[in-house]
Amino acid sequence: MSFARNVKRDLYGWAVGAYACGGHICAGVYPKNPTARVFYGGARGGNRGGPQVKVDLLKGIFPENRSDFNILYLLSGALYMPPEIISCLKSRGVSVVLNQNGVFYPAWYPREWQAENARMARVMDLADHVFYQSAFCKKSADRFLGTTAKACDILYNGVDTEVFIPAATRGQRQRFRFLVTGNIGQPTFYRLQNALDALVLARRGGLDIEIVFFGMLPDDLHVMLCGAIEEVNMQEFFLLKGSYSRSQAPQVFANADAYLITKHNDPCPNVVLEALSCGLPVLYAASGGVPELVGDEAGIALPVPETYEENPVPSAAAIAEGMAVIMAGRDDFASAARVRAQNMFDIRLWAERHRALFQRLIAQSV
């Protein structure tokens, strides 16, 4: 049985039991001025993917309370609680917040994407408030979920700008380093292939650059990539460093000069915020929520078609041209990136938005 099914089974039995015995989880009796006591609906923290990172950040600010909560906080990328249980909790005074981060669509999830969207829509209909992680997320939800949130606003992810800081020096590097990160599988292998193609063109055009990849790559794709790198004789310039932990992340970003991301329709990637906070200009495919994060001053957009049916990527020539622009204006881009992260995405601002919403929902429920 999968982890998600195990969590669903456990949550269902636990919540039904609490409801049947009149446990305080469904009692709805709280102090006049209560504090937020948050349960994350079975979602777990970790290093793999946005939902896990977000849960870790939230738990650090609002520790999880599994037995006496007044806020049920759900993430669209980790929906383990059945709508019937959510409805039960709502009827007993628990407020429901949904953090909505994209939808299922043909190019990303070709099998049963309609069914997955229908399940997400049921949860959204039950939410007292929806945080969309970007305007792109709201646009996609409006199109694919066929539902309207009762109350909503856009809240981009947060980054700790006191942990993710620019490097004091460039170290011993001679070449300009573009960083690529990610959990790469077959559907997203194009990100590494077109980065390699762009590297070849850029170096042939006279740019003294290198690309370093930190992330997860299955063995078969690792072999494939190494073969492609050797075929174009780029072993010295395309470096594969493997996965990294959350504690290592600030150093990974600080040890680069710019960040490259060509993933299509990424809703609100934390890695882009971490790059900005470390003062890295971002060279990116102009799709998903990334243009909202980077803006006009902190990087270079590479146009791609707007579609949910396939995953178009910028051409290698366009990426190489963007690399040249980033290198020429690196200092100005870097300064703008750092200021943007501090002013718009600092984790303390993100936490305060959550805190204000939680208190408002609690006050409305008593």
CA distance 270 to 47: 12
Lowest mean pLDDT of 32-36, 155-159, 250-254, 318-322, name the range. 32-36
Residue 254 confidence class, pLDDT cut points 50, 70, 90: very high
pLDDT band at 44 (very low <50, low <70, confident <90, very high): confident
Domain count, the chain: 2
Alpha-carbon radius of gyration of the chain = 22
Average pLDDT over residues 179-203: 96
Is residue 329 domain-shared with residue 195, that is, in the same domain?
A: yes
E strand map for 47-89: 71-75
* Domain of residue 75, residue span: 3-158+346-365
**Domain-embedded: residue 225:** yes
Q: Highest mean pLDDT range out of 37-46, 58-67, 79-88, 208-217?
A: 208-217
Q: 0.95 cut: is pTM over it?
A: no
310 shares a domain with 295: yes
Q: What is the pLDDT of residue 149?
A: 77
Residue 301 sits in the same domain as residue 350: no
The pLDDT value given to residue 250: 96
For a pLDDT cut of 70, what percent of the chain falls above it? 88
Of 276, 241, 253, 283, the closest CA to residue 167 belongs to 253
**Whole-number mean pLDDT of the chain?**
89
Instruction: Measure the CA–CA gap between 96 and 152, rounded to whole angstroms.
Output: 12
Cβ(289)–Cβ(264) under 8 Å?
Answer: no
| Alpha-carbon separation of residue 303 from 226, 283, 284, 290, 300 (angstroms) | 28, 11, 9, 12, 10
Determine how many CB atoms are found less than 10 A away from the CB of residue 176. Answer: 18
Q: Does any domain span residue 216?
A: yes
Least-confidence region, from 24-33, 45-54, 237-246: 24-33
Q: In this structure, are 183 and 303 located in the same domain?
A: yes
Distances (CA, A) of 245 to 215, 221, 285, 344, 361: 10, 21, 26, 25, 35
Confidence of residue 43 (pLDDT cuts 50, 70, 90): confident
Whether the pLDDT of residue 18 is over 60: the answer is: no
What pLDDT shows up at residue 174? 86
Q: Does residue 269 lie in a domain region? A: yes
Domain-located, residue 170: no
142 and 26 housed in the same domain: yes
Q: What is the rounded distance in angstroms from the CA atom of residue 203 to the CA atom of residue 190?
A: 20
CATH number of residue 296's parent domain: 3.40.50.2000
Share of the chain above pLDDT 90, in %: 77
pLDDT at 105: 93
167 in a domain, yes or no?
no
Is the predicted pLDDT of residue 5 greater than 60, yes or no? no
Mean pLDDT value of segment 65-83: 91
What local confidence, expressed as pLDDT, does residue 24 receive?
40
Residue 45 has pLDDT above 90, yes or no: no
- 3 state SS of 226: helix
Q: What is the DSSP letter of 36?
A: P
Q: Report the alpha-carbon distance of residue 277 to residue 295 in Å, rounded.
A: 14
**Residue 358 · residue 35 · CB < 8 Å:** no
Highest mean pLDDT among 27-31, 185-189, 223-227: 223-227
CA angle, 90 as apex, 89 and 93 as ends, to 5°?
95
Residues 279 and 328 in one domain: yes
Give the CATH number, domain containing residue 100. 3.40.50
Residue among 220, 135, 225 nearest 180 (CA): 225
Residue 169 lies in a domain: no
pLDDT band at 23 (very low <50, low <70, confident <90, very high): very low
Domain contains 84:
yes
d(CA 46, CA 42): 13
**Are 20 and 154 members of one domain?**
yes
Mean pLDDT of 114-118: 93
Work out the pLDDT band at 26, boundaries 50, 70, 90.
very low
pLDDT at residue 25 in the model: 42
Residues 231 and 275 in one domain: yes
Per-residue pLDDT, averaged over 102-121, amounts to: 91
Distance CA 293, CA 272 (A): 8
pLDDT of 57 above 60: yes
Residues 251 and 326 in one domain: yes
Mean pLDDT of the region 6-27: 42
- Quick one: 192 and 332 in the same domain? yes
Phi first, then psi: what are they for 282, rounded to 5°?
A: -115, 125
Q: Are residues 239 and 138 located together in one domain of the fold?
A: no
User: Given strand 129-132, what is the order of strands in its sheet?
Assistant: 38-39, 71-75, 95-100, 129-132, 152-154
Residues 194 and 130 in one domain: no
Domain assignment present for residue 298? The answer is yes
